[in-house]
């Protein structure tokens, strides 16, 4: 199965992500992918995540594709202008890589090459517009393409962003610009998420809820304090605090959220942040045992 | 106005190495108002350079003066550069460039040119404009996303906004401010803004006067 088929068929989709290495040894990335084989519909491949220079996203997607995975090419506007972005997209499509996630990208100042020129010629909404054009057979200036790609473009949204109104306005722009699915920033409060989904439903947006498995109360507090758009409820933090086995409790919390979210949204996007080994346990606990090929 | 700031002294001294008679030229317009290139600042830098030269046993001489605007011929023409072997400009980049165009001496910048800004209290300037060549302030409630959003985003806040602050931590989120002001104005940010026309600046006829000099010569 692929992400596109799952979403178009209305089957609850599961995605996760891998990060390309700094260097050319892809063995660890491929081992991570193997842990998730058969359990996810697709694997996002980050684009120089956190503005830290790494092996190219497209190359990593090709490795995954050759190994039988369905990759999602993350494309940011930080490092390439509109010529580079369109060119890379066509290159990816020529390898059959057509799932794309359009992002603005973290600023270079937060990464490991802070003196680099931050490009941002296009940002997320405009990358989606560019992709829509390529799908129609022309580039951004209207020149005809020889061989037209068929991208399945998505975007991100932060349902717990504060303030929320500007975030929702941008979410609507992304829908208008052609986002066919959304992956969210990590969400923990099911009631708050349900409220967001009401907004998304009214706009016919397909949403994969973002899941980051909490491994301790300390991690939850750190995320609340430092990661924009994350709001772990106090009750969840207390649950982890009172647990003798916080890792298992974290898995239960994630699984419970997924179970509740199954009636609300189209799937989940699990960001393992280095704990990919936990993902199959989360899926087992959430009853998502159906093996995806 | 154009906001400038003094370069680190070691960087200035490195540029001036090998020169023995340097004229410091202040600029009494933007650079003076941003407290980096007026009379007082020229005096201060002169003192610093003389002290540093003395400490090193160098007999390099430094003289200072201020002209009204380094970016206009009528003021730059008045500069008497006789006897000097270098000029240190305390104007913006345009001042440095324009003096350099009018002399065969090397002209060095003492300042870094930062942005076009507005006054926010004494000696405090807020960047408001990046001279991008295709103004969008009409759609953004008068708050420039090119300048005030760290990523120059044209369509709303990124995921890095936290309680109205930018992910870089040192500034407010331009897009949160834009939304708040649009709301006060009874307007909404609900249409996708297309990518910027970067050619507008490159193709600006005044960008390079090379092909137009005949037309503007007085």
Domain boundaries, chain A: 3-157
CA distance A120 to A205: 26
Q: Answer yes or no: are the C-beta atoms of A265 and A221 closer than 8 Å.
A: no
**Structure-token pair, residue A145:** 């393409």
Residue B150 phi, psi (nearest 5)? -60, -25
CB contact at 8 A, A285 and A251: yes
- The CA distance from B28 to B112, in Å, is 16
Which tens digit of pLDDT belongs to each residue from B134-150?
999 999 999 999 999 99
> CB-based contact (8 Å) between B152 and chain A?
yes
pTM of the prediction? 0.94
- The complex's ipTM works out to 0.93
Chain A residues whose beta carbon lies within 8 Å of the beta carbon of residue B154: 123, 125-126
User: Which runs of E-coded beta strand occur in B28-110?
Assistant: 61-67, 86-90, 107-109
Among candidates A107, A163, A185 on the partner chain, residue whose Cβ is nearest the Cβ of B176: A163
Q: A62 with A33: CB under 8 angstroms?
A: no
Contact at 8 Å (CB) between A173 and A125? yes
List Cα–Cα distances, A26 to A60, A93, B99, in angstroms. 8, 21, 55
Q: Is the predicted pLDDT of residue A273 greater than 90, yes or no? A: no
Is pLDDT above 90 for B209?
no
- Whether B155 sits inside 8 A of A173 (CB atoms) is yes
pLDDT at A219 exceeding the cut of 60: yes
B215 touches chain A (CB under 8 A): no
User: Please, how many CA atoms are within 13 Å of residue B115, restricted to the half-sphere of its CB?
Assistant: 14
pLDDT tens by residue, A172-204: 999 999 999 999 999 999 999 999 999 999 999
Domains plus CATH for chain B? 2-115 (3.40.50.2300), 130-195 (no CATH)
CA–CA separation, B103 and A33 (whole Å): 65
Q: What is the mean pLDDT of residues A252-277?
A: 94
- Taking contacts as CB-CB distances below 8 angstroms, the residues of chain A near B189 are 166, 169
- pLDDT at B218 (0 to 100): 40
Residue A291: band (very low, low, confident or very high) from pLDDT cuts 50, 70, 90: low
What is the C-alpha to C-alpha distance for residues B89 and B66, in angstroms, rounded to an integer? 10
pLDDT bracket for residue B202 (50, 70, 90):
confident
User: Nearest CA of chain A to the CA of B117: how many Å?
Assistant: 21
Residue range B38-67: average pLDDT?
96
pLDDT of B5 > 90? The answer is yes
pLDDT in tens, B78-110: 899 999 999 999 999 999 999 999 999 999 999
pLDDT-based confidence at A276, cuts 50/70/90?
Answer: confident
Per-residue model confidence (pLDDT) at position B208: 80
Residues of chain B contacting A167 with CB distance shorter than 8 Å: 156-157, 161
Q: State how beta strands B86-90 and A71-76 pair.
A: unpaired
**Residue B217: predicted pLDDT:** 44
C-alpha A163/C-alpha B166 separation (Å) is 12
Query: What is the rounded CA–CA span in Å between residue A108 and residue A52?
Result: 8
**Residue B32 reports pLDDT greater than 60:** yes
CB-CB contact of B59 with B18 (8 Å): no
Q: Which candidate, A5, A39, A6, places its Cα nearest to that of A265?
A: A6
The DSSP letter of residue A212 is: E
pLDDT mean over A121-147: 98
Q: Higher pLDDT residue, B205 or A124?
A: A124
Percent with pLDDT over 70 in chain A:
98
Res A292: pLDDT: 59
Q: Which fold has domain A3-157?
A: TIM Barrel (3.20.20)
> And the tokens for B19?
């020169």
Task: Look at residue A12 in the predicted model and tell me its pLDDT.
Answer: 95
Residue B189: which of A169, A177, A228 has the nearest Cβ? A169
What band does A1 get if pLDDT is binned at 50, 70 and 90? low
Confidence band (pLDDT; 50, 70, 90) for B60?
A: very high
Contact B168 A118 (CB under 8 A): no
Comparing CA positions, the residue from A84, A94, A157 lying closest to residue A127 is A84
Closest listed residue to residue A52, CA positions, set A22, A27, A75, A17: A22
> B198 to chain A: nearest residue by CA?
A121
Quick: pLDDT tens for A53-103: 999 999 999 999 999 999 999 999 999 999 999 999 999 999 999 999 999
Distance from CA of A179 to the nearest CA of B (A): 13
């Amino acid at each position: 199965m692929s992400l596109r088929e799952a979403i178009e068929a209305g089957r609850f989709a599961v995605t996760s992500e891998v990060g390309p290495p700094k260097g050319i040894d892809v063995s660890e990335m491929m081992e991570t992918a193997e842990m998730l084989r058969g359990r996810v519909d697709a694997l996002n491949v980050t684009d120089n995540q956190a503005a830290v220079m790494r092996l190219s996203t497209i190359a990593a997607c090709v490795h995954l594709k050759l190994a039988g995975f369905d990759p999602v090419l993350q494309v940011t506007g930080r490092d390439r202008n509109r010529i580079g972005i369109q060119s890379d997209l066509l290159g990816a499509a020529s390898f059959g890589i057509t799932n794309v996630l359009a992002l603005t990208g973290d600023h270079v100042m937060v990464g490991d090459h802070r003196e680099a020129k931050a490009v941002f010629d296009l940002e997320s909404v405009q990358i989606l517009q560019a992709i829509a054009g390529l799908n129609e057979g022309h580039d951004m200036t209207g020149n005809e393409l020889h061989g037209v790609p068929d991208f399945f473009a998505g975007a991100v949204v932060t349902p717990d962003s504060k303030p929320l109104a500007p975030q929702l306005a941008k979410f609507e722009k992304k829908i208008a610009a052609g986002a066919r699915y959304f992956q969210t920033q990590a969400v923990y409060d099911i009631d708050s998420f349900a409220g967001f989904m009401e907004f998304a439903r009214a706009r016919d947006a397909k949403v994969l809820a973002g899941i980051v498995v909490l491994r301790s109360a300390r991690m939850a507090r750190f995320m609340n304090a430092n990661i924009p758009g994350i709001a772990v409820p106090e009750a969840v933090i207390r649950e982890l605090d009172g647990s003798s086995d916080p890792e298992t409790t974290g898995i239960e919390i994630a699984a419970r959220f997924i179970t509740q979210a199954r009636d609300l949204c189209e799937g989940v996007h699990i960001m393992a942040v280095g704990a990919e080994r936990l993902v199959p346990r989360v899926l087992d606990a959430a009853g998502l045992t159906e093996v995806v090929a | 106005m154009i906001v400038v700031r003094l370069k680190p002294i070691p960087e200035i001294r490195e540029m001036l190495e090998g020169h023995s008679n340097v004229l410091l030229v202040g600029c009494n317009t933007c650079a003076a108002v941003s407290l980096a290139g007026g009379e007082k600042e020229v005096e201060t830098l002169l003192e610093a350079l003389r002290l540093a030269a003395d400490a090193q046993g160098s007999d390099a001489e430094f003289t200072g003066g201020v002209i009204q605007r380094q970016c206009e011929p009528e003021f730059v023409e008045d500069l008497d550069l006789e006897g000097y072997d270098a000029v240190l400009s305390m104007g913006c980049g345009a001042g440095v460039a324009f003096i350099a165009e009018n002399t065969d001496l090397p002209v060095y910048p003492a300042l870094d040119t930062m942005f076009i800004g507005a006054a926010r209290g004494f000696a405090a300037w807020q960047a408001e404009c990046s001279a991008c060549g295709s103004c969008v302030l009409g759609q953004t409630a008068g708050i420039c996303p090119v300048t005030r959003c760290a990523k120059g985003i044209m369509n709303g806040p990124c995921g890095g906004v936290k309680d109205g602050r930018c992910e870089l931590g040192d500034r407010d989120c331009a897009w949160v401010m834009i939304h708040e002001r649009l709301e006060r104005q009874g307007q909404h940010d609900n249409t996708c803004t297309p990518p910027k026309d970067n050619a507008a600046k490159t193709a600006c006829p005044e960008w390079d006067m090379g092909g137009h000099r005949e037309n503007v010569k007085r």
